[in-house]
Chains A and B, each alone.
Chain A
């Protein structure tokens, strides 16, 4: 990978990698550090990594660093920014906020796989490579995640 290709990778993938990490950790500073480390690592390995595989490489590296960070910090959970913003508002939360709050309740691995699926459009095999799971496991985790979200939404509708 050339310097130009590396910088193109930054343009293409940095924001999506940050979103993936940040929505998992809910701590902006940690997410920024992990993204920084991931790209630092990509730069150091640019001679080994092909440009076409840079996104997958970045998400795999970022995911592993995120898991390390979670284990190290024992998952310091903060309120997501969008919930903080809505906290003082008396208006009805929109669907995106509700889904996001439901997402926060998911187990870590389910949250990871459904975000890779929906935000990044990865197929089961690609998600499996990043998370070190097989395709069946990925499918099961995604099913459970959607089922949990669905149940959350159904229950919320019942309450409202």
Chain B
């Protein structure tokens, strides 16, 4: 047990201050200090040697870090190319759907109202061979020779024919094909051996030819142009457009 005196007072007070003396010994020493005015004043002074916390202004914002990813220049060009290609595809998506139809074997349509049956012996052999590659509406056209037109009254009196015609867009003409002109009369026009020719604006051979240059068609159908722009705050505008859409960006 330590006893405080003038020789060891600094050492003991330092140890008390630093927490090096604890427990009962600490209590006894503090009692001894408080019982002596001189020691108490000295103890108070020792306690004042503990530095008091103080706030100092310091801007820490410039010490913070944020990782930045620097993209090589070619990635920026690649990203721009992807955006432009995306725009072109968006502007021509209807065309792309049509092209897909030509490139793939045509799906067989099922009609709610069945067409008049076609007898095999009434079809030219060369047409029959190509039949599997030709859409249904084209098939009908191939088989017809457009020898005569159907009268309007006959069409109106026959529901199956009306429904059949209604499935085609842009019908130019409707032609009655007779197996034998002498045997078939307009009154018997829709018996099994008669074929109907529907002329549309679809041209299979032309479409197949155009399809060989797919990208050229895509770009060709839309236009990209730059024009001066005096009506807004931008000096020029770039215009992407086709039949359906027009996208304008000022710069």
Contact = CB atoms under 8 A, between A and B. Distances in A.
Interface residues of B, number: 25
B63 interface: yes
B63 A39 contact: yes
Contacts of A118: 50-51
Contacts of B54: 19, 96
Interface residues of A, number: 34
Given A10-B64, A146-B17, A119 B51 contact: yes
Interface stretch (B41-49, B140-148, B155-163): B41-49
Contact of B63 (A10, A19, A142, A153): A10
Contacts of B17: 146
Contacts of B51: 99, 103, 114-115, 118-119
Interface string A130-152: 00000000010011011101100
17 contacts: A14-B63, A15-B58, A19-B54, A19-B56, A22-B58, A36-B62, A96-B54, A99-B52, A103-B51, A114-B51, A115-B51, A146-B49, A149-B49, A150-B48, A150-B49, A154-B42, A157-B45
Interface of A: 3, 6-7, 10-11, 14-15, 18-19, 22, 32, 35-36, 39, 43, 95-96, 99, 103, 114-115, 118-119, 139, 142-143, 145-147, 149-150, 153-154, 157
